[in-house]
Chain A
Amino acid sequence: EPEVTQTPSHQVTQMGQEVILRCVPISNHLYFYWYRQILGQKVEFLVSFYNNEISEKSEIFDDQFSVERPDGSNFTLKIRSTKLEDSAMYFCASSHRASSYNSPLHFGNGTRLTVT
Chain B
Amino acid sequence: DQQVKQNSPSLSVQEGRISILNCDYTNSMFDYFLWYKKYPAEGPTFLISISSIKDKNEDGRFTVFLNKSAKHLSLHIVPSQPGDSAVYFCAAKLDSGSARQLTFGSGTQLTVLP
Task: List the interface of chain A (C-beta within 8 A of B).
Answer: 4, 6, 31, 33, 35, 41-45, 48-50, 55-56, 58, 91, 93, 97-101, 104-110
User: In this complex, what residue of A is CB-closest to B100?
Assistant: A56
Interchain CA distance A49-B102 in the complex, whole Å: 14
Docked complex: B44-93 residues within 8 A CB-CB of A: 44-46, 49, 51, 89, 93
Interface assignment of B104: CB less than 8 Å from any CB of chain A: yes
The tally of residues in B whose CB lies under 8 Å from a CB in A reads 25
Specify the chain A residue showing the minimal Cβ separation from B6.
A42
Closest chain-A Cβ to B19's Cβ sits at a distance in Å of: 20
Instruction: Tell me which of A4, A41, A55, A58 contacts B43 (CB under 8 A).
Output: A4
Do the beta carbons of B107 and A91 come within 8 Å of each other? no
- Give the residue name and chain of the B residue nearest to A89 (CB): B43
How many Å from the CB of A69 to the closest CB on chain B? Answer: 14
Cβ-defined contact, A58 with B49, below 8 A: no
Min distance, Cβ A67 to any Cβ of chain B, angstroms: 13
Pairs across A and B, CB under 8 Å, 26 listed: A4-B43, A31-B99, A35-B104, A42-B89, A42-B105, A42-B107, A43-B44, A43-B89, A43-B104, A45-B103, A56-B100, A91-B43, A97-B97, A98-B97, A98-B98, A98-B100, A99-B32, A99-B96, A100-B32, A101-B32, A101-B96, A104-B49, A105-B46, A106-B46, A107-B45, A108-B43
Say what secondary structure dominates the interface of chain A. Answer: strand
Q: Is the CB of A105 within 8 A of B102?
A: yes
How far is it, in angstroms, between the C-alpha of A4 and the C-alpha of B43 when the chains are bound?
Answer: 10
Residues of chain B within 8 A of A49, CB atoms compared = 99
> Contacts A101-B32, A101-B49: A107 and B100 contacting too (C-beta < 8 A)?
no
Whether A107 lies near B44 (C-beta < 8 A) is yes
CA distance A80 to B36 in the complex (A): 31
Chain A contacts for B99, CB-based, 8 A: 31, 48-50, 55-56, 98-99
Give 11 A-B pairs besides A43-B107, A99-B99, A104-B46 with Cβ atoms closer than 8 angstroms.
A41-B106, A43-B89, A45-B103, A56-B99, A99-B102, A101-B32, A101-B49, A105-B46, A108-B43, A109-B42, A109-B43
